[in-house]
Structure 1
Amino acid sequence: MILSVLSLAAAFLLFYRVCVKEHFDAAFFYFFFFFLDFGVRPAFIAFSMDTPFPESLFLDGYYDEFIGVCLITVVWLLSFIPGYLIKSETAQMCFPIFPSINRNYSVYPIIIASVLLTSISLFMISKAVISAGGFIQAMIEIRIKGTLFGDFKFLKAIPLLSNYLSAITLLLILLHKTNLDRKLLALALIIFPLNILLTLVTGDRSGVVFPMVILFFGLSLRLTNRKRIFSFIVAGIFFVSLPLGLHAARNLATGQSETDLTQKYSSLARSLTKGLNLNNFDFMLLVYRDWATQGNMRYGEDFVNGTLGVIPRAIWKEKPTYIHPGHWFQEHYRPESEGGWPIAAHGQWYLNYHFFGVILGGFLSGIFYKSLNTHTNQLKKDPLSMAVRFILTLHFGGIIAQTPILFILWCIPMHLLWIACRQNPFNYKLSVRTPN
């Protein structure tokens, strides 16, 4: 298994050297997220720091599965690279779905949108708390059971989008070259913590952590390289500790003991894995063992369902039960549990089309991220561009079964926001000092 991890390390190193051209571009963010799941987590297992979980599903060992998943990951990375290296114009023509942030813009539409979405989010969460009978009950209904929004599950993206916008609003006001009205700064300092609090009620740890990461990355644009390295070390400790604390607090508040999901944390590696949601590799082991290698391939069913998923269930009553592959995947192993187990992008392609799918999906995902970077990296050191790249990289993860749904949930709002910003008569320009 150690040789497999070394192969992964070589593939990740090649990816970083070839694709990542500067800090905070699309390839950098993709590497950041993908490496945590399929670089760090396999190392934990290979060096006997932890075992795959739930342990009850791996009683017969996992050696062959470990090597197989590492091989799939290497193939995916090697297929991603040539897709990312194609010409920018070609990538833009293949995936013209991203907002093209390419000129000065006004911050005021972003502030207005942030206030509006915060108001909607506050109304939704308050109504949920009242209906459920308390904060903890609302958290259970929203996060664990997922029954609060009924047939309109897309509504749960509104609090998260509101949280992102509040972070972007605060970031842009802090980096503005002139002294804006102090009332705007005070407004941003109220809206951002309020959104964090509302997201806590939903039980979404990532919805708390990632807006803070956006704020940190944006502010680091003003730092010199030496100061940036030190700030990254301090922030890394904070952003690792925060999800761990939030995970423990949520389990304590909702009465979800760890024995409901797996055995007690046996090590620091297990604590980090659970707290940071680094479980995609573990679920990929099950995909490799129980599905594609045993003739149970999906043959595109997940991608068809994902495309049909853009139709609201309230309109189409016969809509397939499982739109997100993680839902049927978890129910197969734990029918009594709610929610879903995530299947990574290359896992979905392997599950549906075997290694041909991994190669094709990796290549298309490379083009996808090249298009994202080309559209949003025309203004160098621009915090709004950086934030959009971060958000879209985080929520897409490549070309996957849910891409049509994710386009509606994330790309369309970003397009509308950018149209409003560039049409506004205010001449807004950031003054961001380029690091030495």
Structure 2
Amino acid sequence: MMSQMPRQAALPTCPSCAEPLDAGDRFCGACGYDLSVVPPHPEDHPTLTMNGAAHAAASDSAPPVPPAVPAPPVAPVPPETAGWSTAARAPAQAAPAAPVVPAPGVRFDRPAEPEEYSLQAPDPRVAADSAPAPEPAKVCVACRAGRVDDDGYCENCGHAQPRERDHMEAEPGLLAAVSDRGLRHHRNEDAFGLGTAVLPDGSPALVAIVCDGVSSATRPDDASLAASRAASESLLAALPQGTHPQAAMHEAIVAASHAVNALAGEPATAREHAPHQNAPACTLVGAVVTAGLLVVGWVGDSRAYWVPADRGAPAARLTEDDSWAAQMVAAGLMNEAEAYADERAHAITGWLGADAYELEPHTASFKPDRPGVVVVCTDGLWNYAEAAEEMAEVVPLDAAVRPLHCARVLVGHALDGGGHDNVTVAVVPFPAPPQGAGSA
């Protein structure tokens, strides 16, 4: 406000029109110039003489500055014009400005100061449209009241919030998968990949890959994620080109193996490696379902089950574990109950990883004579429904038309049983319905 501005020294004439002024005038009576905004003369700028020598501003020999000559009185400014801006009070006719005569020995050839430009206020409508919407504050899943900080902890109760991979769900079309951290593990080391493809004859193909990271290895979560992505991408690229599903599954497992092997040479593996750990590793199981063919492939102890829609027909396990227990049973040294009761039962003899003895992808193809679903899962599920008959009892009757609901029920069954491991399951209906065509 004008009342808060410091008073300027009296000026003899108006800086705008050179009209004589009275002492105490705040506006020019001729042109209305606002005298309170006249900037003070700079006091600290060095000056140069015309011949280039420095001018001693404080020298005794410097000529004294003549005092200002009092200006003759002028008419006072009408009160109704007090406080107007210069632009609002433009005079009808302004007198020409008097030329400025430089003082002796002072240069006025310095670069002109940049003028101030008035900035137009932004349009609030445009500003509102361009401003990014603020992210809603995350609320704690435990107390439902505290805000979650950037580190993932509740500011109210301190509860650690679930991470993105702690619980994952997907339903791209007519198949679905659910993965959960379980109740005992500190992170989810499982991963899955889903998709649909169109075969050269126009019929659809459904693809599901499930991987389980080896906990005793370095970066098991990264290994399962890399393998699931590589295998599913390989299948979705090969099937539309006319590659037979069983051959495509074999090549997908090889691609997944290469992806996991590559992790061993990354700096992150060296940083996280501990003496008791091996290179990144995981197991893999996958299924490809077409209109009349079911293909499975696996390495390790993750499994695939066949559950017919007609529960009067028998269910079946479609894979054989690469594990110590399976070897004992195959060799006739133990029956299945004895082998899986041994503490060495879940020691795997095949996996994907740089330190695997030898990669041996297993594939098998089937032609079911009736509709049903394929359950593709990690041992976090089948530990609680090991036999095919037990798995069929847990699978809902409408699994083929509600695959996501079925996957949730199966994960819930494992959590209700204790949830000692990560749990991941994919549910794929057979045969692949025509409306499942398209890429995902």
TM-score, normalised to structure 1, is 0.25
* Structure with greater strand share of residues: 2
* Structure with greater helix share of residues: 1
TM-score, normalised to structure 2, is 0.25
Using CA pairs under 8 Å that are at least 6 residues apart, name the structure with larger relative contact order, 1 or 2.
1
